[in-house]
Structure 1
């Protein structure tokens, strides 16, 4: 007892130094700056709110895009569910209904689609839904085991009285006969458990014929023999077990022919279902999430190009694109203290009123705010540089202007895209995101593509121009600003004036200057002279513009004025740094990982990873206390294309002998025993596994080097 009391008396508390960075508890503590800024909690709260908004919108978009194909799959299963209780199924009992779901090459997005499909089927069609992966089903026994585990587990969990050891199959009982016995008993008991099911199941045969849906999520990855054996087994039991298969295919329907033989595929009644492409999915994400004024966080043109490059050239995954967007949000709120203003308009104005002196000083150092100060009068400049209260008032006005800019920018952007997206060769881009990148990067009206688009708009027929203007009117109807409503009225007036015209142009009666003289008519066979006369008379003739051409020029001039007024680059707007994330280099470094460079840096400079003072060396030298693979790596940098294993071993033993403090003049220095030999072999094997060397047939005692250079 005395020892315990003495230990308790030896506990003391030491206060940390005030100069050290104050760390808040929780995740929001990481958003606190080194200089003592205390808006980390607010930034974390705003960032978390935006994260939840993004996730909610992504799920809604996913449900909207997959609704059609999922509804078709449900109808397909319901149709065959009714057939199972009729004579048609008994006549074609050997054929298993199969849905080939074409999902595309965006494999990371398939998980969300299958999750929605399973939930929809369990809620509206059948409780017996099984989803299997190829990695878990390397053999037929494992595949049957997965199916039985998921099915019989669901059946037992519906009623607590059924949860006994006898109802759960052991691995030795995993056979289709066990599933048949379970299917004959469980649906009858389950139909009496829920009163709702008792009311809806007026047909007593419905629970007995409830289909068993097996979803193969990655059909191409399954072993062909495993699939064929499983289908043959299921076909033998098709009269007792109403199976329905769903194949998740990423490539094309021909994958079924490549994976299954004709005798096996003839046992399937296949129907193909196509989902929307990943590019259409990405366009929906852009239109409803990024290109909208309701979402305060914005991406610069370079950041968008980095995310689009990863999407188009790597995985076509919308989910990974969204993760990149979320990473951009985290980086923005972590690196920019003024991101506390990156929120909805009302909340941003309240935050602007309570800005700290430090954040006011940060606003003064923003490039966009400095440009704004330079455009003001000298007296106003002095107030902006000296008075914090005046900066807060101006900041509120600029935030209102920034939000108004976004509300006017996106409708005009969509109108310009509606006018130019159907033009030949799509000079301003086929997708809205391409036009958006061009507009926020530079003055789009100064580009050659914009001039080409305006020239092509001048040759549109009246019907085409009216249809394009009607699309613009539909877009402007959803705009909320008064200015956009005035633009809508002007567009509708142009549509009414164009519809009043009887034809696209009025043709003037031919005059004397157009009718060829008798001499010209006699020389009509002389093509050169005829062309010369026509060009001379056409040059002397003054063409009179038709009413359609006059009205068309007015429409194009009106569109050009809107573009120049509202589609200015975002970086020219004051306080744009508050909402726009532009660190494309950081984003590329985080998402486009370079594993080989990281491995080379770790092997060349192990001190920065292991934090051992003994590993500090000068450039080009090898530390004898470094890990074996680091020594092997640095030694192989001194070799050419082929490396002699014996010389490599001798150099390795020489280096590690220096760590044992042996005398260099002794006979034992540089000699290797079985332990050193084993360490060398293990290190070389690790180098081969990492892809730095490989065995070669040119010389048996040599290895070939696969990389050049180093860190």
Structure 2
């Protein structure tokens, strides 16, 4: 490194001089311990996850499409309707305002795809000033139809600027002449609150001056209530040029509740994976507080699915049981069965009989848990139906907040009534009390709604549900007269109370192998959604050995610090010299003040590397000593005295053939006398060679230390731990303080 280079420079060039190092093989993580005995588990679980998640995602997408379809049609109708109000002094620019924080760009993309008209999408970064805004608008509309109409070539001197509105007018005239129609030119403005109002005022004014020659129309995507933002921010002169129309689409918790009601809460859709109260509560809380978008909701549900299938290998049994399951899988299933019911396999003798019994219990649990889950959903929907009816009729009902607490209410259905004695048990009793107070007309309308709900449920294979449908139909046949209305009300209240209690009698956790289909109280993997980046960085720098498993650590022997990495797989303590270079430098970083002298920092780093170098040499020497010991024990014994000396000499490291020839004496004594002076000369030459080799090795070591220091320094700089200062060229400033390194 030359003297004119300082640490204020952001880039250093270190040319590659070549080398004999071979590329190290990729260190792929091995299979988790809980999967080693399940040869069919990994791939089968992945395929099962894909099938379950595809079913859930298709259901959500169909619900979203059903929710947005009428609103898409309304927007399309507003765009195509450009009829002007008669009697105005000047034409108004059509503007459609949409409050769209949940569905984001997907809703607007669907609108544009359904419209057979030129369109462009504008973002705040495209419209920093008037010139860039007009250029983005015009070029976006022109380029959207390049494949439909031929280009007309002009001289450079005759071309209009691509930000001139007259350029768009001339292009539109040519488009109409070639296509024979006058389509609407649609501009979609995403995140309209982030646009500069002064720029958009000029854009709206310029575009309004070209009406009706140009059929321009704007769609504004807002996240604020309609149309408050436009009336507050933009002046009256700008609003006078616009014909603002609003389209209200579902937003906020209504979208979340609708999706959950038609997927995991619906008795008309069988979800393959049952979300427990913990997952539902976290999804609702995160959607309400942090990110009210459809993408975030889908991501949260997918993370629950991924964790469910990654935690338990038994989830491979979600859909079916293998014809020949592995012994490890059967053993795991048996362990789970006995944890729920210790007498489930009593009286079974023989390996084949036990295997058949376990498979039979798995199949029974699969159908039983789905029926139990369906019963919970029926109870929830029936209770919700009655609550909504009571509120419409002016009763307080159960005092449920079905908009904000829908997930908590449904999650309470999973718990035992004894555990929710102050909640669910009280709610069931209060429902019966309100039912008995209804007048004949209210009772008739409520019974009609309950009857329609029960008849709409598919009761195939469920004899209890079929019997309940028949009983309720017989119960409500004779309630037309006012004389027996109180009797019918009391009978209906008793029937509803018994029906709901029977539906909620058993918990899902009481069913064998419930963890295969039900997430239970497993916490949501929140660290995947909102990771603590600062804590992760500091933990990795302070405790790097805890992040490297011995099974996945196989460094190349030729790389710097390879021996140290090999030793860390055996020794568990975190001595400073055992850490990676970046962690060593970071430890010295913590010992410094606000400003760090780079040279002192380098000296402290070099001292640690010297210790590391000595420890590696000691480890090599111990390894060679063990090798000599093993070699001596395997060779035949030659006795003590001189013979022993010859044996030890034979165990010394081999030299090059030339040096070995110089040092090996001949058998006669005269030869030895004649070679004595030559041996002395060779000893002097070897001493000089050793000194030169040591100097060369030391020089290479110093260069290596400098290179490793620069690399570690760049990594800390990249992570944002240091800041360069121009006041002192040989100093850098700390950016992170108050770190607990204990």
Which of 599, 605, 610 is residue 656 of structure 1 equivalent to?
605
Contact 1:454/1:556, CA 8 A, preserved across alignment: no
Which protein has greater RCO, CA pairs closer than 8 Å, 6+ apart? 2
Partner of 2:207: 234
Return the alpha-carbon distance in structure 1 between the equivalents of residues 280 and 67 of structure 2.
23
2:470 to 466, 473, 489: 489
Distance between the aligned counterparts of 1:631 and 1:357, measured in 2? Answer: 48
CA distance in 1, matches of 2:573, 2:90: 75
Equivalence for 1:333 = 309
**Is 1:406 equivalent to 2:373 in the alignment?**
yes
The verdict on how the C-alpha distance between 1:371 and 1:225 changes in structure 2, with shifts beyond 3 A counting, is same
Spell out, residue by residue over 1:437-456, the C-alpha distance to the aligned partner (whole angstroms, 9 max, x if none): 11223337842112432453
- Note the 1:225-264 alignment, pairs <5 A: 225-252=198-225, 253-264=227-238
Give the direction of change, closer, same or farther, for the CA distance of 1:411–1:171 in structure 2 (3 Å limit). farther
By how many angstroms is 1:170 displaced?
8.9
Gaps of 5+ in 2: 1-27, 556-560, 612-705, 726-731
1:415 maps to 2:364: no
Q: Does 1:306 align with 2:279?
A: no
| Structure 1 counterpart of 2:502, from 565, 574, 593 | 565
TM-aligned CA distance change 1:454 to 1:396, over 3 Å: closer
Q: Tell whether the 8 Å contact from 1:476 to 1:485 is kept in structure 2 after alignment.
A: no
Match of 1:181 in 2: 170
Q: CA deviation at 1:98?
A: 1.0
Among 462, 466, 491, the alignment partner of 1:554 is: 491
Specify the alignment match of 2:702 in structure 1. Answer: none
Distance in 2 of aligned mates of 1:291 and 1:465: 26
Q: Secondary structure at the match of 2:458?
A: coil
1:480 alignment partner in structure 2: 458
Q: Deviation string for 1:613-638 (max 9, x for gaps)?
A: 6586998875598556x566545655
Decide which structure has the larger Cα Rg and report it. Answer: 2
Q: Calculate the aligned-residue CA RMSD, in Å.
A: 4.4
Any residues of structure 2 matched to 1:264-413 within 5 Å, and which? 264-292=238-266, 293-343=269-319, 348=320, 351=321, 353-367=323-337, 370-374=339-343, 378-379=346-347, 387-413=354-380
SS of the equivalent of 2:35 reads: coil
**Residues 495-534 of structure 1 correspond to what in structure 2 (within 5 A)?**
495-502=476-483
Comparing 35-44 with 246-255, greater Cα deviation is found at: 35-44
1 CA distance for matches of 2:291 and 2:29?
Answer: 41
Distance 1:74 1:288 in 2: 27
TM-score, normalisation: structure 1: 0.71
Q: SS of 2:81's equivalent? A: helix
Aligned CA distance change for structure 1 residues 551 and 634 (closer, same or farther; 3 Å):
farther
CA gap 1:625/1:564 in 2 versus in 1, 3 angstroms: closer
Q: Does 1:589 align with 2:583?
A: no
For residues 392-471 of structure 1, the aligned pairs below 5 Å read 392-420=359-387, 422=391, 424=396, 426-427=398-399, 430=402, 432-443=406-417, 446-457=420-431, 458-460=433-435, 461-463=437-439, 464-471=442-449
Alpha-carbon deviations, 1:238-281, whole Å to 9, x = none?
Answer: 23212111111102232223442332222111122221123111
Question: Are the aligned partners of 1:130 and 1:147 in contact in 2 as well (CA < 8 Å)?
Answer: yes
**Which moved further from structure 2: 275-284 or 415-424?**
415-424
Contact 2:398–2:430, Cα closer than 8 Å, also in 1: no
CA contact (8 A) 1:231 1:264 kept: yes
Q: CA deviation at 1:358?
A: 3.2
Query: Retained in 2: the 8 A contact 1:303–1:584?
Result: yes
Question: What are the residue-to-residue correspondences of 1:540-689 with 2, within 5 Å?
Answer: 551-567=488-504, 568-582=506-520, 584-585=522-523, 587-606=525-544, 608=547, 614=564, 630=583, 633-635=586-588, 637=590, 643-645=593-595, 652-658=601-607, 661=610, 689=720
Aligned to 1:100: 97
Task: Tell me by how many angstroms 1:218 deviates.
Answer: 0.8
Q: CA deviation at 1:471?
A: 3.1
**Cα distance in 1, alignment partners of residues 578 and 355 from structure 2:** 60
State how far apart, in whole Å, the 1-side matches of 2:579 and 2:360 are.
62
Does structure 2 retain, via aligned residues, the 8 Å contact 1:278–1:318? no
Q: 1:85-124 to 2 correspondence within 5 Å?
A: 88=85, 91=88, 93-104=90-101, 106=102, 109-122=103-116
Structure 1 residues 456 and 392 mapped into 2: Cα distance closer, same or farther (>3 Å)?
closer
CA distance in 2, matches of 1:679, 1:399: 56
Q: Is the 8 A contact 1:693 1:704 kept in 2?
A: no
Q: CA deviation at 1:236?
A: 2.3
Structure 2: distance between partners of 1:384 and 1:226: 80
